[in-house]
């Protein structure tokens, strides 16, 4: 072990000096530039929440490399503005689909779209961090529906279209989670709560923990030769969502936040890098597989993992394909 590796480990242990832009700069010194020197022509991608922040940066990176990118955005006006910007910036093939991931019918319409016959990359990026509890038309809390139930509905609806692509490379599902999940232990009961005090930040963190576990559970059930599932966290990135939902955090950290492109780097890497195509069921940060548990007492048991799987399928109203 070199002095540099010891030094880097010490800085990473502080969290702040790992999740911030200086952490990205340190970690990026070990990146292989060839990993993203790829041609994605002929590949089809879908990115939720693609009109801003990490989703916008991910869509841009995929389009620049030749992929056809479907931008799944809740707001048509903001989505179209973003699509035009991305076309100007990349010259790529970007297509807008108005999809609210928290809405069952909206997801179902996209999954049934005959214009999408196959899909190589699915990025679950759309997010919601609310100040007060809100419900969906089918009775789910919006944060849960956006981060957990909606993405599973979308995955199951698109599964017949997620097929191994050119040269036998598997399709890829990427879940954009958050380092904010680290203090949380998976609790299906907390996810299911419909009354009582509402702490939007805590609910968001619970849902981000659930995303990581769902990614692992999907990976256990999918043939990795056909579809892989991985989760990642972007560190602390300067996005419109952070600025609006966490104004105090943004005010204190804005000088050290990563750019959206830096935050989205590992999303793009997981979606596009050829040499990691067979990796599945792992959790990534700055192109490195990392532990999902940094604090004692946060590791869930097999029973709770099973409860999450069965309950999320029930919420989604969809069976696992036989």
Question: Per residue, what are the HEC states of 57-126?
Answer: HHHHHHHHCCCEEEEEECCHHHHHHHHHHHHHHHCCEEEEEECCCCCHHHHHHHHCCCCCCCECEEEECC
Ranges of residues in the chain with a pLDDT under 50 are 1-2
The predicted structure's pLDDT at residue 134: 96
Given 19, 182, 204, 309, the catalytic residue = 204
Which pLDDT score is estimated for 1?
41
Do the Cβ atoms of 50 and 79 come closer than 8 Å? yes
pLDDT of residue 4: 53
Rounded Cα distance between 238 and 201, Å, is 17
Fold designation for 33-204+214-255+264-316: Rossmann fold (3.40.50)
Looking up tokens 């880097």 gives 8
pLDDT of 254: 81
Backbone CA torsion sign across 19, 24, 26, 32? positive
Q: Is 182 a catalytic residue?
A: no
Helix (H, G, I), strand (E, B) or coil at 307: helix
pLDDT of residue 247: 82
In Å, how far are 80, 193, 207, 290 from 184, measured between CA atoms? 36, 16, 10, 16
Q: What is the pTM of this model?
A: 0.95
């Amino acid at each position: 072990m070199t002095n540099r590796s010891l030094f880097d480990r010490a800085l990473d242990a502080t969290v702040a000096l790992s999740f911030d832009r200086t952490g990205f700069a340190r970690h990026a010194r070990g990146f292989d530039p060839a990993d993203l020197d790829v041609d994605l022509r002929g590949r089809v991608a879908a990115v939720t929440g693609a009109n801003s922040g990490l989703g916008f940066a991910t869509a841009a990176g995929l389009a620049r490399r030749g992929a056809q990118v479907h931008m799944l955005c809740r707001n048509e006006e903001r989505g179209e503005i973003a699509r035009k910007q991305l076309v100007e910036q990349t010259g790529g093939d970007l297509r807008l689909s108005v999809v609210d991931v928290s809405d069952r019918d909206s997801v179902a319409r996209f999954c049934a779209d005959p214009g999408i016959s196959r899909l190589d990359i699915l990025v679950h990026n759309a997010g919601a961090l609310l100040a007060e509890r809100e419900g969906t038309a089918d009775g789910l809390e919006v944060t849960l529906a956006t981060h957990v139930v909606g993405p599973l509905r979308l995955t199951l609806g698109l599964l017949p279209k997620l097929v191994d692509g050119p040269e036998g490379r598997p399709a890829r599902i990427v879940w954009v989670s958050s380092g904010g999940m680290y203090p949380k232990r998976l609790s299906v009961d907390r996810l299911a709560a419909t009354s009582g005090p509402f702490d939007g930040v805590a609910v968001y963190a619970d849902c981000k923990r659930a995303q990581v576990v769902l990614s692992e559970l999907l990976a256990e059930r999918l043939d990795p030769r056909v579809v892989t599932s991985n989760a990642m966290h972007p560190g602390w990135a300067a996005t419109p969502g952070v600025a609006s939902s966490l104004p105090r955090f943004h005010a204190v950290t804005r000088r050290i936040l990563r750019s959206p492109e830096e935050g989205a780097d590992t999303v793009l890497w997981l979606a596009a890098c050829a040499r990691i195509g067979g990796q599945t069921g792992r959790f990534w940060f700055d192109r490195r597989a990392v532990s999902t548990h940094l604090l004692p007492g946060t590791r869930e048991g097999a029973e709770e993992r099973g409860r999450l799987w069965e309950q999320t399928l029930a919420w989604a109203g969809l069976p696992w394909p036989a």
